[in-house]
Amino acid sequence: MARVVVDVMLKPEILDPQGQAVQRALPRLGFQGLSDVRQGKRFELEVDGPVDDAALARIHELAETFLANTVIEDFVVKVEDAEGSEKVAGAAK
């Protein structure tokens, strides 16, 4: 089995109220020097069989039609190897 990760983030021009709330709370908690916080979503998909071009195309379609609202969000598809390092397999903007 292989793991494919889909990271979904709001597009830069879209306001992120949750990220702003975290950013405002950080100084009160003693964390200084952070100028921006953006919050996103991470989906980890376990894939049966090899992660070939056809599997990645299906996952990209899944992300584009179901996991992300592409009007306001971008996403990146990454394949994780056994050691946990990632290789970017595709992005949508």
Q: How far apart are alpha carbons 12 and 44 in whole angstroms?
A: 23
Q: How many CB atoms lie within 10 A of CB 63?
A: 24
Q: In the prediction, which pLDDT does 86 show?
A: 60
Residue 93: is its pLDDT beyond 60? no
pLDDT tens digit string along 40-82? 999 999 999 889 999 999 999 999 999 999 999 999 999 987 6
Mean per-residue pLDDT over the chain, rounded: 91
Q: What pLDDT, on the 0 to 100 scale, is given for residue 81?
A: 74
**Does the global pTM surpass 0.95?**
no
CB 76, CB 64: distance < 8 Å: no
Q: Please tell me the distance from the alpha carbon of residue 51 to that of residue 79, in angstroms, as a whole number.
A: 8
